[in-house]
Amino acid sequence: MAKQLKSIYICQSCGYQDIKWMGRCPDCGQWNTIIEEAPRPEKRNQGLSSMSSPQTIDTISLSPEMRLKTGISEFDRTLGGGIVPGSVVLIGGDPGIGKSTLILQVLEKIAARGHRAAYLSGEESPQQIKLRAERLSVHSDSLYVVTGTCIEDFFEKLDTLKPDLVAVDSIQTFYTNIIPSSPGSVGQVREVAARFMAFAKESGIPVFLIGHVTKDGAIAGPKVLEHLVDTVLYFEGDRGHVFRILRSVKNRYGSTNEIGVFEMKDAGLAEVGNPSRIFLEERPQDVPGSVVIPCLEGTRPVLVEIQALVGPSPLGMPRRTAVGVDHNRISLLVAVLGKTLSMQLGDKDIFVNVAGGLKVEEPAADAGIVSAMMSSFLEKPVDRNLVIFGEVGLAGEIRGVSQSGLRINEARKLGFSRCILSKSSIEGSRETGDMELTGVKSIHELYEILFK
């Protein structure tokens, strides 16, 4: 008789399944990630439990103001204008970045608007949550706290509680009885999330799932939940800095170009309505190596200060350190500077930093980075009322970038009076009032304007 299969083997990193154990996952190539799990029970209609009858798209009715606003505008904006009923939102982030703080503040706001909010925690005791709430001055008689780790117990409680919104902190600490493996494993996390998904879709109650990004850079080992949930937000930031950025990477009900900016204070997260001002607050004046660039975070223009330090290297192998910008991009720009301006930085230590802990990934920052490096190398500061943007090509040409009008306007709002940009961008942005625009075609022209 054929042997009855009792277990399946699942890669904890990518979710690959097999019927035998292997040392290396054939799918993602990781070693020692395949772990035995009980076979998943056949219950195909756990998802959307009942199928709706066919209807034409025109006949589906939609109430106009469906979204639930929290009143925290940075948060609402990131969600695309508020919380959609029945949606499941995953909030991911490194441990300690402030996810629990954020969700508690969001729940309080929801509760203050007369809704019942339920905070399910598998990490902290009610007393610990109360301590945090005291610190955040969160008080409410319709914010309910439930602690524990078994979701079957929770669903029982939710039946009687009848909340309008549920937050689960964190998904990795919960387990379901159906699967024997421990909480946090791929099987458990996926199953728990699927159960909350089904719950949200059936009841129309929105659910927030909080997930820790593990050291592999993905939630629950792999990004096993991203495809399942409706919206994925990442809460990012450098723990050494007070700024936190809530970024939407997937959104079934809105744009993924949105970010929300927060500042971590003693009494919780505060919205930063005008990030540019904060990022420029402590800018040194008239110091070589400091240049302000208008970059876009999604659809939002943000001014940041790029700092460069170029100096002789005591080492045989000069150092190139980039914080907040791509390391390879710096090498490329150094090579372009050497070739087109004969500015030899090969034997210099070069440090480039984005002040405030923001990450700048746009090529539009190139011209600013180049200017900061030149400024530090020549020990000549650039005009402090000036912003610079544009992509630098390998031949030393400066190319146009998108949304130059938005960038210029943001700079003008913050009191900058001059802007250097590519000649091609300048045509599209004539109506920019009192801002003095200078178009450049190459790094050479940029150098002439800045330092001659």
Identify the burial level of 323 via C-beta atoms within 10 angstroms of its C-beta, where 0-12 means exposed, 13-18 middle and 19 or more buried: middle
Q: Is 448 exposed, middle or buried (0-12, 13-18, 19+ CB in 10 A)?
A: exposed
Q: Shortest distance, CB of residue 158 to ligand TYD, whole angstroms?
A: 22
Residues 6+ apart with CB under 8 A from 322: 329, 330, 351, 352, 353
* H-state helical runs in 12-87: 73-78
Considering only 38-46, 51-59, 92-100, 395-403, which stretch makes contact with Mg ion by CB under 5 A? 92-100
Bridge partners (DSSP) listed for residue 422: 440
Q: Which is nearer to ligand TYD, 97 or 411 (CB)?
A: 97
CB environment 377-407: b (16+ within 10 A), e (fewer): beeebbeeebbbbbbbeeebbbbbbebbeeb
| Residue 132 binding ligand TYD, by CB under 6 A | yes
Indicate the residue among 166 and 303 with the shorter CB distance to ligand TYD.
Answer: 166
**Does 96 help bind ligand TYD (rule: CB under 6 A)?**
yes
Residue written as tokens 């943001």?
410
For the CB of residue 161, give the shortest distance to ligand TYD in the complex, in Å.
23
Binding span for Mg ion by CB under 5 A among 78-86, 98-106, 270-278, 394-402: 98-106
Short-list 93, 105, 355, 97, CA closest to 247: 93
At its nearest, how many Å lie between Mg ion and the CB of residue 346? Answer: 46
Q: Kindly identify the residues of this chain, within the stretch 245-274, that bind ligand TYD according to CB under 6 A.
A: 264, 266-268
- Dihedral of the alpha carbons of 224, 225, 226, 227, in degrees to the nearest 10: 90
Q: Restricting to residues 395-424, which ones interact with Mg ion according to CB under 5 A?
A: none
Q: Is 329 in the site for ligand TYD (CB under 6 A)?
A: no
Stretch that binds ligand TYD, among 99-107, 142-150, 223-231, 304-312 (CB under 6 A): 99-107
Q: Does residue 122 touch ligand TYD according to CB under 6 A?
A: no
Question: Nearest distance from residue 238's CB to ligand TYD, in Å?
Answer: 13
Amino acid at 52: S
Residue from the set 33, 100, 121, 251 that interacts with Mg ion by CB under 5 A: 100
CB of 208 to Mg ion, least distance (A): 12
Single-letter amino acid code for the residue at 444: H
Question: Contact positions toward Mg ion, by CB under 5 A?
Answer: 100
Question: Contact positions toward ligand TYD, by CB under 6 A?
Answer: 93, 95-101, 132, 135-136, 264, 266-268
